[in-house]
Amino acid sequence: MSDRLDFMSQDDEHFRKHCGGGDITGLAEGITPIRPAADHSARALQTDPMTSALSHATNNALFEATRARRVLHRNTIDYVARLIREALPDAAAITVDTRDGELFEVRDGHGTALYRAPFTPASPLHDSLADDIEDLFRHAFPFGGLDEAGWETAAEGLPYRSVILPDVTRRGTARSHFPTPEGMASIHCEYTPGVAPGFQIAGPDSAFARETRDRIRAAIVNSGLEWKPGLMQITAHWTVAQSGSSADLAIACTALAAAGAIDPAALNNVAVIGELGLDGMVRPVPDVMGAVRTAQLAGYRKFVVNGTRDFDTVNEDVRITVVGPNDLNAALAFLHEMYEPTTTLDAGREGTPGEDAGKCAQCDERLVWDSTGRCVHDTQGGYFCYGPRRAGRRTHVLAD
């Protein structure tokens, strides 16, 4: 364990600089997420159907409550930022007495106070606006989770906390789905640049969140990937934790898509399966075919899996399109390539959606016009051509 932490700590400075700050080891003071409730899924597997059903219902409720609290804090600070900037356009951060919900100070980007309590007739924030803001805080703060939401202890000490006001126009989001024993489960990532740096994974299983965060942070750093300082918040459905490290690659790619490394739409209808090593390499996972079958039943036909053992296993199924990256960078490149073919064909080449478009000039696959009538894909919905590329194109090419 100590070797693992030492290895991760070597890249801590790089991560702080290039990937939104925080601490790769997850041991730094002040960034530990709140303790989630225990995961009861293991108990559910060992008990009667009624207890199992109640356990699953409890975990679903805990997940939804955690997500709802995060949304509440995010929407509250977004709304507060907009209200404050209507009166103080240069506002960049605020300090609040979290015990009483009172707005204590508003500062610009240089740390200069633009407003400071108590309110006076000469204050730039009129009394009714300050009351509205404080009422929002008094409703949100009792739900807890302020550390997770980016509120840091202010120089005045607790209960005073400070938070950077977000620029919601620059926020990035991405969503993917991962095959679990319960079906396809959601992974949602939200990246807000310019606020207090952090990298958080929320879910009812604290061990899963902590260990997964550590692996993904190290893999991103050691892959030479980076994003501007900001807050990365990841919400993985509780059933993702049951799959353990098999969801590493999906979570990492979704986070990087939210930060702008690839178009978030590149994750649509693609199942990404693989464990990440601390060095950024993609590792095989247990029962990869079970995960593939779950995704197939949900309508997925494109898969990203480990490039050695898992690729050879999954690629035997001719009904699906499979790519096998060996590392995180290659996985992003494949996702970009698989999405890129949605660009239109040459001008004048159009057809009726759903009708036969002939064979691909490169791989001889039968092609169909897609829903736009301006692009073609194979009968399984794949735009990417894996056959001999006689025309030198990565997409399917219509014969002349």
pTM here is 0.62
Question: Is the distance from CB of 241 to CB of 59 less than 8 angstroms?
Answer: no
- C-alpha dihedral sign at 13, 19, 25, 29: positive
Cα separation of 142 and 295, whole Å? 39
User: CB within 8 A of 209, min separation 6: which ones?
Assistant: 33, 36, 201, 202, 203, 236, 241
What is the separation of C-alpha 359 from the centre of its chain, rounded to a whole number of angstroms?
Answer: 38
Tell me the CATH number for domain 179-341.
Answer: 3.30.230.10
Per-residue pLDDT of the chain (400 residues; tens, 9 = 90+): 444 334 444 444 544 455 544 443 333 333 333 344 445 445 545 567 888 788 878 887 887 888 889 889 988 998 999 899 988 999 999 999 999 999 999 999 899 999 998 877 788 888 788 889 999 999 999 999 898 888 999 999 999 999 989 887 778 889 999 998 888 988 999 898 877 778 888 765 677 788 888 899 899 999 988 887 888 888 888 778 777 789 999 999 999 999 989 888 889 889 999 999 999 999 999 888 889 989 988 888 889 998 777 777 777 776 778 888 889 999 998 888 777 554 445 545 777 878 888 888 777 778 888 766 777 777 766 666 655 554 445 667 777 6
The count of C-alpha atoms lying within 13 angstroms of the C-alpha of 177, restricted to the half-sphere facing its C-beta, is 18
Residues of the chain with CATH 3.30.230.10: 179-341
Residue 42, judged by CB atoms within 10 A of its CB (0-12, 13-18, 19+), counts as exposed
